[in-house]
């Protein structure tokens, strides 16, 4: 079926506007049905992911005893309340669909939202995660530090706790070093 859709899309690109207009006019009902099915499918996927993020948020708040864990827009689990004396660094995690599974994989990321924040943490992050290439998009820099089967709650929670602990230690270590430099 995918091959047929690819062929259809290739055929569309070769059509004139008049031919496309005629095709869409003649097949509007079928196209609308397909769009509705696809939209419904995406809504179901999003609802499953939001529900699961909500559940994980409750669990991780209980595990850490920290209720500053957030889920902005419901699709990601996020923590940013590390040392307030330093640039903001975030722990983020969210689901990515795979073929046949709305919760296919869970991706854990360390993110900075400004170039200054990335520059502040870059040396230590690159030392601790040398095999990971940062993804830079505008001012935002992301390190994908773990990808886990989305159905493995134990591994998801373990990865979140590991990176959370790492960031707590990183931000505390950085403050100690910064203070030591200023004292000298």
d(CA 90, CA 82): 8
In sequence order, the β-bridge partners of residue 94 are 76, 107
d(CA 155, CA 12): 45
Residue 15 lies in a domain: no
d(CA 49, CA 41): 13
pLDDT of residue 163: 97
CA distances from 184 to 41, 176, 177, 178, 179 (A): 61, 13, 11, 10, 9
d(CA 182, CA 184): 6
Residue 122 lies in a domain: yes
CA nearest neighbour of 128 among 160, 169, 92: 169
Residue 95 lies in a domain: yes
Q: Is the pTM of this model over 0.85?
A: no
Residues 98 and 105: beta-carbon distance below 8 Å = yes
Residue 58 lies in a domain: yes
d(CA 102, CA 104): 6
d(CA 16, CA 39): 28
Alpha helices by DSSP H, listed for the chain, are: 2-13, 17-26, 28-64, 115-128, 153-183
Residue 16 lies in a domain: no
Residue 18 lies in a domain: no
Residue 21 lies in a domain: no
pLDDT of residue 171: 92
pLDDT of residue 58: 97
Query: Per-residue confidence of the chain (184 residues) as pLDDT tens digits?
Result: 667 777 777 777 888 888 878 888 888 888 888 888 888 888 999 999 999 999 999 999 999 999 999 998 899 999 999 988 889 999 999 999 999 999 999 999 999 999 999 999 999 999 999 999 999 999 999 999 999 999 999 999 999 999 999 999 999 875 554 544 444 4
pLDDT of residue 91: 98
d(CA 167, CA 13): 49
Residue 10 lies in a domain: no
Residue 45 CB neighbours (<10 A): 16
Residues 142 and 135: beta-carbon distance below 8 Å = yes
Q: How many domains does the chain have?
A: 1
pLDDT of residue 122: 96
The parent domain of residue 130 ranges over: 52-183
Instruction: Tell me if residue 158 falls in helix, strand or coil.
Output: helix
């Amino acid at each position: 079926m995918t091959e047929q859709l690819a062929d259809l899309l290739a055929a569309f690109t070769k059509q004139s506007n008049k031919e496309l207009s005629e095709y869409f006019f003649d097949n509007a009902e079928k196209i609308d049905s397909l769009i509705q099915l696809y939209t419904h499918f995406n809504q179901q996927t999003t609802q499953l992911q939001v529900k699961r993020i909500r559940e994980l948020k409750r669990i991780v708040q209980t595990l850490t005893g920290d209720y500053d864990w957030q889920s902005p827009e419901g699709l990601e689990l996020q923590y940013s309340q590390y040392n307030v004396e330093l640039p903001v660094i975030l722990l983020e995690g969210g689901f990515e669909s795979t073929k046949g599974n709305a919760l296919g994989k869970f991706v854990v990321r360390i993110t900075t939202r400004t170039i200054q924040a990335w520059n502040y943490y870059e040396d230590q992050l690159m030392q601790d995660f040398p095999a990971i290439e940062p993804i830079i998009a505008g001012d935002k820099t992301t390190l994908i530090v773990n990808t886990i089967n989305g159905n493995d709650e134990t591994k998801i929670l373990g990865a979140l706790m590991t990176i959370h602990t790492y960031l707590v230690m990183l931000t505390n270590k950085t403050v100690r070093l910064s203070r030591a430099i200023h004292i000298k």
